[in-house]
Amino acid sequence: MKTIEWYLENGISRVILGSTAIKNPALTKEAVKTFGDKIAVGIDAKEGIPAVEGWLEKSTFFYLELAKTMEQMGVKTIIYTDIAKDGTLQGVNLEQLERLKETVSCRIIASGGVRSIEDIEACKRLGLYGCICGKAVYTGNLSLKKAIEKAGEQ
């Protein structure tokens, strides 16, 4: 909690809990209760099974079950990464993102596989909150300026 507080007091607008959200749900619940909207949870999954500790360990949850648990704790933002697509420029996993959007009322940020403006458009059509576009921007496949224009700043 002290680490989270330190970051928030020093200019960071949102802290993302990843492995901690699965391994220490009590801390996640306390962080959300204390810091509210400033806490997001990252769910990194392969074939729907969340992984922790740098993707080296699999959890016993299915990603939708984990997302529901996080929502019940008060989490408002979930960053969903399809590990199998991360860094591949193969496109986002729209099927899993759509199921996630239908399952929880949290803001969903897509991560993993974004390759072009079409992925931004598809995520916008799903009503997602945002997309992480790392490699697509670095390789020049996606203009960040055009992506922001297409998505609309939020």
Instruction: Find where tokens 């390759």 sit.
Output: 115
Q: What is the CATH number of the domain that holds 130?
A: 3.20.20.70
Residue 74 lies in domain:
41-147
pLDDT in tens, 10-64: 999 999 998 888 889 999 999 999 999 999 999 999 888 888 765 455 766 889 9
Into how many domains does the chain fold?
A: 1
CA distance 90 to 115: 6
Residue 26 domain-assigned (yes or no) = no
First to last CA, the chain: 28
Residue 47 domain-assigned (yes or no) = yes
CA distance 58 to 36: 27
Residue 127 domain-assigned (yes or no) = yes
Residue 32 domain-assigned (yes or no) = no
Residue 39: HSE in the Cβ half-sphere, 13 Å Cα cutoff:
24
Comparison of pLDDT for 100 and 87, the residue scoring more? 100
Instruction: Kindly tell me the number of DSSP H helices and DSSP E strands found in the chain.
Output: 8, 7
Residue 153 domain-assigned (yes or no) = no
Between the CA of residue 82 and those of 39, 42, 62, 89, 143, what are the distances in Å? 20, 11, 13, 12, 22
pLDDT in tens, 106-144: 999 999 888 899 999 999 999 999 999 888 888 888 888
Q: Which pLDDT band holds residue 67 (cuts at 50, 70, 90)?
A: very high
CA distance 76 to 139: 31
pTM of the model: 0.89
